[in-house]
Amino acid sequence: MPNSKVLNRYDPTQTTTLRNNFAREMRKRFCKLRGVIRKAIVDEDCFGLTNNNLTTFAEMTTPGRGAFAFPTSAAKVDAFMEWLEEQVNRGILETVRIPQLGQPVQKAWTDIYIDSAYRKGVHTARQKLIQFGYNVPSLEETGGIDVVMQHPFHADRVGLLFTRTYNDLKNITNAMDGQISRVLAQGMAEGRNPRQIAQLLTKTISGPVGDLGLTDTLGRFIPAQRRAEMLARTEIIRAHHVATIQEYRNWKAEGVTVTAEWSTAGDGRVCEDCAQLEGREFTLDEIENMLPRHTNCRCIALPLDKTKRE
Neighbours of 253 (CB within 10 A): 7
Helix axes of 194-206 and 16-38: crossing angle, nearest 10 degrees: 160
Residue 289 has pLDDT above 90, yes or no: yes
Say how far apart CA 228 and CA 212 lie, in whole Å.
20
pLDDT tens string 151-190: 999 999 999 999 999 999 999 999 999 999 999 999 999 9
Residue 220 has pLDDT above 70, yes or no: no
Work out the percent of the chain whose per-residue pLDDT is above 70: 86
> Residue 35's pLDDT is what?
95
> Residue 59's pLDDT is what?
41
Residue 259 has pLDDT above 60, yes or no: yes
pLDDT tens string 69-104: 999 999 999 999 999 999 999 999 998 776 655 556
CB 270 within 8 A of CB 9: no
User: What mean pLDDT is predicted for residues 199-210?
Assistant: 85
CB 294 within 8 A of CB 233: no
Residue 48 has pLDDT above 70, yes or no: yes
Mean pLDDT of the residues in the chain? 87
Higher pLDDT, 266 or 21: 21
Say how far apart CA 131 and CA 134 lie, in whole Å.
8
> Residue 53's pLDDT is what?
45
User: What mean pLDDT is predicted for residues 114-131?
Assistant: 96
> Residue 268's pLDDT is what?
86
> Residue 213's pLDDT is what?
56
Q: If pLDDT is split at 50, 70 and 90, which confidence band does 237 have?
A: very high
Q: What are phi and psi of 106, to 5 degrees?
A: -85, 130
Residue 218 has pLDDT above 80, yes or no: no
